[in-house]
Structure 1
């Protein structure tokens, strides 16, 4: 991969961030930015048409979040590798992104050279994780959590407990309504319940809510 130009698609809802990243890669040899997208839906459309080597993906964006876009790119079988570049390092962001198929996960405070190295590695299909994310994932794997709710599922059940509807939950968490319903299905299965009220009651009973 070092002997050819790596093509990129930059996905971020902030024009200033996109401009900065485009300028950064334009000044470095071996990279070509094919296009920019302001949300996940636009990213999927552009990636399908342009087939970049690497999609540099933000996560929380109005009009289509990164995790949904990563999932859709995987479903379409596109060869593009996704490298998440975001300011968010919580489990509720990192785990879904990696489960959806992201090749790597970096934070926006990563040094310029680290970003270049990560893009090259992602283009080769190698996993790249910022040190902070890597240590969190290791801790998570080592801690027993069989059957417990994921961080994202906890966020969903907390909002359900407040009486928030699926559409509002989707808007607050920057995910689709279909994803909210999927999370609820998993929550019901893990808690052994069949509806929202029973899920909230079980979550209080188990100390998940309190």
Structure 2
């Protein structure tokens, strides 16, 4: 079983060293290193392509969420985790909406840290400050906002119960084009069928 590789970006080197010491003894993880500034951190992540990137929120000249957005462009397989003392609901929601996989408070105990990183490494999203329903709602809105204008238009018509033929007629496009968009929507959002797409759209209430 391959280890979960980790890289940490935090402008407090002693804290990074302490975290690495906590994790190096665990056979699940491989600590790839740390950076104290954004530019060096970006170069290292681009080269190392770690499974998980831990980011502090407060960084010189930027913040962890903005930096995470940049990192996701050149290291899309890396799962971003905000690892900070800043735990305001606004910041936590921003991280969730920016496709972060988790939030960890710097005050957590070792066992919680390991459990969270293991879960994130396995593809689970961990935001203990938010309730499950709130996470689902924010994830749905975040995914919806990534769609193109035409995809959103068709998705909302699907939500209203229009058939492919009716959508084609109302948008003045071919039936083939509508069906192609519907298939792309299902694939892009990671669903298996129209029923799952409809369930997803039921949470999208602000559009």
TM over 0.5: yes
Q: CA deviation at 1:87?
A: 0.4
Write the distance in 1 (CA, Å) between the matches of 2:121 and 2:84.
Answer: 18
Residue 116 (structure 2) pairs with residue 114 (structure 1):
no
Q: CA deviation at 1:136?
A: 10
**What secondary structure is seen at the aligned counterpart in 2 of 1:129?**
coil
Q: TM-score, normalised by structure 2?
A: 0.60
Does structure 2 retain, via aligned residues, the 8 Å contact 1:104–1:128? Answer: yes
Write the distance in 1 (CA, Å) between the matches of 2:56 and 2:106.
Answer: 9
For residue 25 of structure 2, what is the aligned residue in structure 1? Answer: 27
For residue 180 of structure 1, what is the aligned residue in structure 2? Answer: none
Q: TM-score, normalised by structure 1?
A: 0.59
- Aligned residue among 124, 134, 137 for 1:138: 134
- Aligned residue among 59, 62, 67 for 2:60: 62
Corresponding residue pairs, total: 137
For residue 103 of structure 2, what is the aligned residue in structure 1? Answer: 105
Q: CA deviation at 1:77?
A: 4.9
Write the distance in 1 (CA, Å) between the matches of 2:95 and 2:38.
Answer: 13
- Aligned residue among 51, 54, 70 for 1:53: 51
What whole-Å deviation, never above 9, does each CA across 1:37-65 have from its counterpart, x for those lacking one?
11333322211110011111111111332
Does structure 2 retain, via aligned residues, the 8 Å contact 1:39–1:65? Answer: no
Q: CA deviation at 1:86?
A: 0.6
What is the Cα-based RMSD across aligned positions, in Å? 2.2
Does structure 2 retain, via aligned residues, the 8 Å contact 1:94–1:105? Answer: yes
Following TM superposition, where does structure 1 have runs of at least 4 consecutive aligned residues deviating by more than 4 angstroms? none
Map 1:1-210; keep pairs closer than 5 Å: 3-130=1-128, 133-135=129-131, 138=134
What whole-Å deviation, never above 9, does each CA across 1:65-96 have from its counterpart, x for those lacking one?
21111111223352110111110111232122
Q: Could you list the runs of 5+ residues in structure 2 that have no partner in the other structure?
A: 139-207
What whole-Å deviation, never above 9, does each CA across 1:114-170 have from its counterpart, x for those lacking one?
11111111112210123xx1249839x69xxxxxxxxxxxxxxxxxxxxxxxxxxxx
